[in-house]
Amino acid sequence: MKKSVSCIIVDDDPTAINILQDYIVEMPRLKINRIFNKPVEALSEISIESSRQLIFLDIDMPALSGLQLADNLKHKSHNIIFTTSYPEFALDAFKVRAKHYLLKPFNMGDFAVVVNEVLSECYDAQDIAKENEGAFFLRTNGERGRLTKVLKKDIIYLQGSNNHVHIYTPTNDYSVYMTIKEMEEKLQENGHFYRVHKSYIINTAYVKEINGHKIDLGKYEVLMTPQYKEAFMGFIEDQTLVSKRLRDQHL
């Protein structure tokens, strides 16, 4: 059985709130967590929510617009569906990482279609959908039924950005919805991958040169930070050709 999804409503219009409540009740997997009619209060409370929420967010509100609220939450893992009467805000909505956009007035059918798309992309489909020893299968855009196979040996490096990981290969790059920490855990049994920065994991097979804190990966260059340097440089020292006599002189 699929897990239920916790929802938050943020809207200054009581009628709009009532409609959303009625529609959410009709969706078996949704449950209402909180309702806010003051966006400033909503920002304060949602910012400390530890679990990922599905937020139904109005745009045109006093004191703090929905776009401003969403912009302040864009580094969180919550998913936002904007509910608004203004179609001209659609482009701005996606700039702040909204997952979808419902134009008021919308009916139950419109609501169900949008919600199911978001549930499928953000809750049901793990971006790393299947995994084996030598490859990942990626659902990069939440596209149902389509998976892309990426060989781990072809990955040059990975970059974390907000709640996405960008995967760079010699011929393509991909983006999946997960954190760099989650990806690090996926790769921890693979001896070729080392985290060298809070945002970077590299494949040591592509290292061409190390110059101070810069790591040349051929097509790309990344920075190494002291926090992650020790483990990686330990690996490099094990691979470095040094005369045994010279090593003995340093003992």
| pLDDT per position as a tens digit, 197-248 | 999 999 999 999 999 999 999 999 999 999 888 888 888 887 777 655 555 5
97 shares a domain with 52: yes
80 shares a domain with 109: yes
User: What's the number of domains the chain is made of?
Assistant: 2
| Domain membership flag for residue 144 | yes
Given 73, 108, 124, which residue is the final one in a domain? 124
Given 124, 141, 166, which residue is the final one in a domain? 124
Nearest 5°: phi and psi at 182? -60, -40
| Domain membership flag for residue 251 | no
| Domain membership flag for residue 245 | no
| Domain membership flag for residue 247 | no
Given 86, 106, 124, which residue is the final one in a domain? 124
| CA 230/CA 235 separation, integer angstroms | 9
Average pLDDT over residues 117-123: 83
pLDDT at 126 over 50: no
The pTM is what?
Answer: 0.54
Residue closest to 92 by CA, chosen among 57, 62, 116: 57
Range of the domain at 105: 5-124
pLDDT digits (tens, 9 = 90+) for 5-59: 999 999 999 999 999 999 999 999 999 999 999 999 999 999 888 788 999 999 9
